[in-house]
Amino acid sequence: MHAHWNLDDRHRWETFADQSAAGLHQSWVYGQAMQALGVPCLRVAVTQDESLKSPWVGAAQFIVQRLPWFVRFTFCQGGPLWAAKSSHAAQVQALALIRKTFPLRRPRLALFSPAVDVLASDAVSTPHAFEGRPRLATGRSTVLLDLTRPEADRRAAQEGRWRNRLSAAERSPLKVRVCGSKTSDFDWLVQAEAQQRQERRYLTLPSGFVEAFQNAHRKPSQALLTLAADLQRQPCAGMMFLVHGRTATYHLGWTNEEGREHSAHNLLLWQGCRLLAERGVEQLDLGGVNTLANPGLARFKLGSGGRVVTWAGTYL
């Protein structure tokens, strides 16, 4: 096997990521956006033959940070990505090769958080490529919405109270509006969410990420889907989704008391799914589910009718 570091074949990477249903953190555009914000990014593809043009066994994208005492910390969230036909033995060999050829001087710390669902019917307690490796943290949970399913099926899968709130929102005076792709079109939502974040003290991606993500996207006007719910021509709620290949990720949302009263977020998510599906997006990741830190948001995501997944954890 051969490890190809710092490759520049964006088309090949994006094709492989789409085939693997990669999440945001393994998308090329995410890595480019982080680099634009001054955060180094490393990419590697592993092939059976020496040529990069040969079939890929796997690929991984790492974000690099410097810890105290000059330790370089690298994190591969949602990876590595594996070819559909790669064997367990090939994955073990490829992962060992990635570790051996890592292009950073020691001391360094490389962590992996593979997108392997431990709740799946055929799940194993430890991903095959990480057997024998120490697990440092349990995996987070998220909700995935399959946008290839008919709308009727997706609506039927919603929890009863969630669906009732959606129906009430559809009958309400709320008007859903698609915001433009210019910063001035959605800056109101970014600022409102920033104020909300400060009040509730939760963490998110660095300031400026949205602009960097747009600039790194092949089609900047299609990088985002931003929706507003208006009441008497004034926004009372908003949602933003990041589009990367055939997958999208819920990025941020905000609502005021009027928006909550009219269940605006139920309507925005439902309409957002329809619009994303029309763009060819096949899966929407609603992001982390934390029933302790934010039980209200967790209930909202869990009731949407998506599939709950719990990733295997973080491995050394």
Q: Is the pLDDT of residue 64 over 90?
A: yes
Three-state DSSP state, 79: coil
Better-predicted residue by pLDDT, 267 or 65 = 267
Average per-residue pLDDT for the chain: 92
Sign of the alpha-carbon dihedral angle for 29, 201, 70, 133:
negative
Q: Is the pLDDT of residue 203 over 80?
A: no
**Residue ranges making up the domain that contains 205:** 143-310
Is 168 found in the same domain as 100?
no
Is 70 found in the same domain as 157?
no
Is 175 found in the same domain as 42?
no
* 71 is a domain residue: yes
Residue-wise pLDDT for 274-289, tens only, equals 999 999 999 999 988 8
**DSSP state at residue 195:** H
Q: By the 8 A CB rule, do 46 and 59 touch?
A: yes
State the pTM of this model.
0.93
Sign of the alpha-carbon dihedral angle for 227, 231, 234, 237:
negative
Three-state DSSP state, 25: helix
* 134 is a domain residue: no
Please tell me the least confidently modeled range out of 11-20, 198-207, 305-314. Answer: 198-207
Q: What does residue 295 show for φ and ψ, rounded to 5 degrees?
A: -65, -35
For residue 123, the model assigns a pLDDT of 64
What's the total number of domains in the chain?
Answer: 2
Is 294 found in the same domain as 212?
yes
Please tell me the least confidently modeled range out of 6-10, 66-70, 98-102, 133-137. Answer: 66-70
Is 150 found in the same domain as 109?
no
Which of 305, 200, 181, 306 is closest to 253 using CA atoms?
200
* 29 is a domain residue: yes
- d(CA 224, CA 241) in angstroms, rounded, equals 6
Is 257 found in the same domain as 158?
yes
Better-predicted residue by pLDDT, 121 or 300 = 300
* 133 is a domain residue: no
* 247 is a domain residue: yes
Is 159 found in the same domain as 95?
no
Residue 145 corresponds to which amino acid?
L
Is 209 found in the same domain as 170?
yes
Residue 87's CB is within 10 A of a number of other CB atoms, namely 12
* 96 is a domain residue: yes
Please tell me the least confidently modeled range out of 93-102, 128-137, 157-166, 213-222. Answer: 128-137
Is 162 found in the same domain as 64?
no
Banded model confidence at residue 125, pLDDT cuts 50, 70, 90: low
- d(CA 88, CA 240) in angstroms, rounded, equals 38
Classify the phi-psi angles of 313: left when phi > 0, otherwise alpha if psi is within -120 to 50, otherwise beta. Answer: left
User: For residue 13, what is the domain's CATH number?
Assistant: 3.40.630.30
